[in-house]
Amino acid sequence: MKVPNWLVQRASQTPDRTAVVGLERNYTFRELLNESLTVGGQLRDKGVRPGDHIGVLMSNSEQMVVLIHSLQQLGCVCVLLNTRLTVNELSFQIQNADIRYICTEESFLTYCPSADVEAILMLQELFNGSEQNSLNPRTEFELTQTCSIMYTSGTTGRPKGVLQTYENHWWSAIGSVLNLGLSDKDCWLCAVPLYHISGYSIVMRSVIYGIAMKIYREFEEEKINEDLEVGKGTIISVVATMASRLLAQLENRSYSPLFRCFLLGGGPAPISLLEQCKTYGIPVYQTYGMTETCSQIVTLPPEYSLSKLGSSGKPLFPCQLMIINSNEHGEGEIAVKGPNVSPGYFKQQEANKKAYHDGWFLTGDIGYLDEEGFLYVIDRRADLIISGGENIYPAEIENILHSHPAVEDAGVIGIDHEKWGEVPFAFVSVRYDVNKQDLLKWCEQHLAKYKLPHDVLILDRLPRNASNKIVRRDLVKKLPRR
């Protein structure tokens, strides 16, 4: 099915509304369209053709938003590259994704494996074109066409390229609006990476809804709090650590009445954080989603944001949810279905066979539904620790550690154990000096004996990936030699 070219339609409907509040300049929708077509003209003149896979290796900026739109206008597949990757990881993804050109900026040039692509296109060159050379916009978007490819954060195994169609992005935006509502005064703050679905989906919502997005180069709690205090944003996408840093910096101040909510994703949030938001009067829409579902797929409706603390909620309007292979407690793998779910991984027939069954996508995450059908996400299945036949979810232990006032961050993995098969091992970073024994005692007070960490190791900082998820395979490397 075809739909009108989104940016053209938006620029026709509400040309003068602010589309992007950038680091150095703002764009209205009319300006955003014009700039995207000008940059699109440059891309075309440098040999970029419709259907090409184009890598984008950039930090958050208004130019990156323009570039994303330019590639859509050209009909290219935008492959979003994580700026924190090593050269080897980059090289793998570039080859794996059949990337022809890379668009990047000065600061990443040295990381760019130029041997793997036909050419590297520098941001500055793309933005000095003239309007006369502008691209003619496509009239329509074919919904089934691939719009973007993102590599899964790869907390387990080798990254896989997730295909995201225009249709996926469309239904994701629509599912969200039917839950969160919409005002033409909305402004969505984007302090998450644009190369990640959490950021990219804000670009899509902005153009589909006709609302502003405000871009931050990176996450700076002070600046964001300042903006939210004076009403410069109404919604912000955050992961747990970001929310926690915002609250710590906010102290006794509060947000503008225009502020609507945190959209909190990227893995289970510690209960302590949700309770803290509650005392601050900040509505939290806890959400569960992933690259494969083009952002949210399960979100807690506003009515329940406080009474169902810790739940990710119910499937968005166009989506469905099911727990499969559940144990006697009803805990099992989370399977999801919906038009926002990716058609599959790029060139990964085996992985696709494993992940897709009868139209359902098996997420690999473990969860359960309460008696009213609310989803509680427990953990990644791959992270499950099986100790003496008992299932132990790292997140449960992490939650307990998080609730200790000294603990800044916590991560738990399973280590081999002669008697029990596996036992949990904890890593923390701390706000102030604390005794390891205190932390273990804290755990004893809150956890069943079989769940107690075998040991706790204090690190300066826990390994988190670009989506702020704990990278457990990096924790393994930090284990003391035994």
- For a copy of itself, which is the closer residue by CB, 253 or 317? 317
- For a copy of itself, which is the closer residue by CB, 94 or 174? 174
Q: How far is the CB of 465 from a copy of itself (least distance, A)?
A: 31
Q: How far is the CB of 256 from a copy of itself (least distance, A)?
A: 18
* Strand, helix or coil for residue 293: helix
- For a copy of itself, which is the closer residue by CB, 214 or 260? 260
Question: Which H/E stretch holds residue 178?
Answer: helix 166-180
How far apart are alpha carbons 110 and 92 in whole angstroms? 16
Neighbours of 110 (CB within 10 A): 7
* Strand, helix or coil for residue 375: strand
Q: Which of 75, 154, 301, 310 binds a copy of itself (CB under 8 A)?
A: 301
| Cβ neighbours of residue 178 closer than 8 Å, sequence gap 6 or more | 316, 317
Instruction: Note whether 324 and 139 are within 8 A (CB).
Output: no
Instruction: Note whether 32 and 56 are within 8 A (CB).
Output: no
Q: What is the residue whose two structure tokens read 């997005």?
A: 213
302-341 footprint of a copy of itself as x/- string (CB under 8 A): xx----------xx-xxxx------------------x--
Q: What is the residue whose two structure tokens read 């130029």?
A: 114
DSSP-derived secondary structure letter, 269: P
Q: Which of 14, 145, 254, 391 binds a copy of itself (CB under 8 A)?
A: 14
How far apart are alpha carbons 205 and 208 in whole angstroms? 5
Q: Which of 166, 209, 425, 442 binds a copy of itself (CB under 8 A)?
A: 209
How far apart are alpha carbons 122 and 118 in whole angstroms? 13
How far apart are alpha carbons 355 and 361 in whole angstroms? 6
Q: What is the residue whose two structure tokens read 């405000």?
A: 214
**By CB under 8 A, residue 182 contacts a copy of itself:** yes
Q: How far is the CB of 320 from a copy of itself (least distance, A)?
A: 5
Q: Which of 7, 9, 331, 342 binds a copy of itself (CB under 8 A)?
A: 9
Instruction: Note whether 82 and 58 are within 8 A (CB).
Output: no
- For a copy of itself, which is the closer residue by CB, 32 or 395? 32
**By CB under 8 A, residue 231 contacts a copy of itself:** no
> Hey, what are 31's tokens?
């300006």
Q: How far is the CB of 5 from a copy of itself (least distance, A)?
A: 10
Q: Which stretch binds a copy of itself (CB under 8 A): 41-49, 91-99, 113-121, 298-306?
A: 298-306
Q: Which stretch binds a copy of itself (CB under 8 A): 4-12, 70-78, 215-223, 340-348?
A: 4-12
Which chain residues interact with a copy of itself by CB under 8 A?
1, 3-4, 6, 9-10, 12-14, 16-17, 174, 177-179, 181-184, 208-210, 301-303, 314-315, 317-320, 339, 373
